[in-house]
Amino acid sequence: MNPVTILGLVAATLTTLAFLPQAVKTIKTKHTKDLSLGMYCVLTIGIFLWLLYGILIGDIPIILANGITLLFCLTILSLIIRYK
């Protein structure tokens, strides 16, 4: 694996893991009052588009990071809609 791919995988791992604490907290507490529905809608669409981009260019770090992050964001977004 070349250094650029490793850099991409490390960056992808860190940015993806950044969403995990919010997803876990939201699932546990069911508290979404302070989360922005608009922000999560736009963010989820953006992540979906990044995933499509990664698929189209065949970039594994982009595909993995955005695929997993999309799951976290969809979870949070669905809970915001459910509990608001």
What CATH number is given to the structural domain containing 19?
1.20.1280.290
Q: What is the pTM of this model?
A: 0.84
Distance CA 2, CA 65 (A): 18
Show pLDDT as tens, one digit a residue, over the chain (84 residues).
889 988 988 998 999 899 889 889 999 999 999 999 999 999 999 999 999 999 999 988 899 899 999 999 999 999 999 987
Q: How many domains does the chain have?
A: 1
Q: Report the C-alpha dihedral over residues 37, 46, 68, 13, rounded to 10 degrees.
A: -110
Range of the domain at 18: 3-83
For 59, counting Cβ atoms within 10 Å of its Cβ (0-12 exposed, 13-18 middle, 19+ buried), the class is middle
